[in-house]
Amino acid sequence: LKLTFSGEAKIHYWNTTEPFRCGYERYFEQSVVILECDKEIKDGHEVEEGVHKYPFIFELPSKLPTSFEDGFAHVSYITTAILFTNMRYSQKTCTRLITVLSHLDLNEIDYIDVPCEEQMAKNLCCLCCTTGPVTGILRLDRTGYIPGETIHVNVEFTNMSRYTCNICVVGTQTVSYTQLSKKDTEHWFCQAVRREVHPGDSETLSEELIIQPIPPSSGLTGCGIISIDYHVQLKVMPVAFRTPPFYIKQRIVIGTVPLKSVVEKYTMEYPGALSTTPTANEFQLTFKESKYGPKYHYFDCLKDKA
């Protein structure tokens, strides 16, 4: 019985207009023999019928990038158990994925708890005709958050053009494949309701975006081929011929340790919430599959094909 531990990052990028491109990094690979062959038995080791448990320990290397996967790349950590039987060319294999999470303390970053503002004015053009400007202001209460927190967004938008504009606030994750020049993909991790602003009208929005479980901003530190970044964007979509959408962006930082000021504010607003939280000694730990665990569609696909 042998266990193999491995960690890797891989890019498999393709589209309809470019050839297939790939990148690869190996972080570690090590095998441990849990049950050795018995020298007195020719075919191996005789194990009695029943359930048997074999404890093992494997220490992960330090400063590993966080587990991650999107449509073109992944950072994954795999444990594989291989059981060799006495039948010729016969072995049984079981694979499990390990989740690794890099920590980022928001309290160690300066000015991350300060409100911020981004604004833009743009004249819309349709072919050779120019219309009046549209102006937008995007305000956030701060720029540092952890998954599960709410981003409070305030938007002021004025449409002085001749075209109706659809506006929407979204939270985006930008994945850069650093080994491939100028290759980025963008995913939405939260989205507010779309609003319609007619010519000559103004709109003020107060939105709340709940952050889903996503890797921290520095989560892929140590990975030389993939990087991630996060923004809150006001997406403006003019209903005009050949006028592409444009964005007002504000960069945010996703961490794993919340700001002390946020925790203190929550404690003051809900004084009994934290005092009644049980300690580790007051309940039995149970380990079940987490609904927020990472999804590995690439490996699930390989498993289905096998």
Please tell me the predicted confidence (pLDDT) of residue 271: 66
Residue 254 has pLDDT above 70, yes or no: yes
Mean pLDDT of 113-141: 86
The answer on pLDDT for 10 being more than 70 is yes
Mean pLDDT of 218-238: 91
Residue 144: pLDDT above 60? yes
What percent of the chain is modeled with pLDDT above 90?
45
> Given this chain, do its domains 2-100+280-305 and 106-265 carry the same CATH topology?
yes
Confidence of residue 124 (pLDDT cuts 50, 70, 90): confident
> Region 109-116: what's the mean pLDDT?
92
| Residue 302 confidence (pLDDT) above 60 | no
106-265: what CATH class? mainly beta
Res. 259: pLDDT tops 80: yes
Task: Calculate the average pLDDT of the chain.
Answer: 82
The whole-number average pLDDT for the span 207-224 is 89
CATH number given to 2-100+280-305: 2.60.40.640
pLDDT of 130 above 80: no
Q: What is the DSSP string of the chain?
A: -EEEEEEEEEEEE--SSS--EEEEEEEEEEEEESSPPPTTSTTS----SS--------PPPSSPPPPEE-SSEEEEEEEEEEEE-SSTT-EEEEEEEE------BGGGSTTTTS-EEEEEEEEEEETTEEEEEEEEEEEES-SEE-TT-EEEEEEEEEE-SSS-EEEEEEEEEEEEETTSTT-EEEEEEEE---EEE-TT-EEEEEEEEEPPS---TTTTTT-SSEEEEEEEEEEEEE-STT---EEEEEEEEE-SB--HHHHHHHHHHSHHHHHTPPPGGGS-------TTSPP-HHHHHHHHH-
Tell whether the model's pLDDT for residue 249 goes beyond 80: yes
pLDDT at 290 over 50: no
Q: What is the pLDDT of residues 78-101, one digit of tens each?
A: 999 988 776 666 678 899 999 999
pLDDT tens by residue, 43-73: 556 778 888 888 888 899 988 999 999 888 8
Whether the pLDDT of residue 297 is over 80: the answer is: no
pLDDT(255) > 90? yes
Q: Where are the domains of the chain?
A: 2-100+280-305, 106-265
